[in-house]
Amino acid sequence: DQQVKQNSPSLSVQEGRISILNCDYTNSMFDYFLWYKKYPAEGPTFLISISSIKDKNEDGRFTVFLNKSAKHLSLHIVPSQPGDSAVYFCAASAWGAGSYQLTFGKGTKLSVIP
With CB under 8 A as the contact rule, which of the stretches 12-20, 59-67, 70-78, 101-109 interacts with another protein?
101-109
Q: How far apart are the first and last CA of the chain?
A: 38
**Alpha-carbon span 50 to 35, nearest angstrom:** 9
By C-beta, is 9 or 16 nearer to another protein?
9
Which residues inside 19-48 make contact with another protein, applying CB under 8 A? 32, 34, 36, 41-46
Other residues' Cβ atoms within 10 Å of the Cβ of residue 84: 18
> Measured between alpha carbons, how far is 104 from 52 in angstroms, rounded to an integer?
17
The residues that touch another protein, with contacts defined as CB under 8 A, are 4, 32, 34, 36, 41-46, 49, 51, 89, 91, 95, 98-107
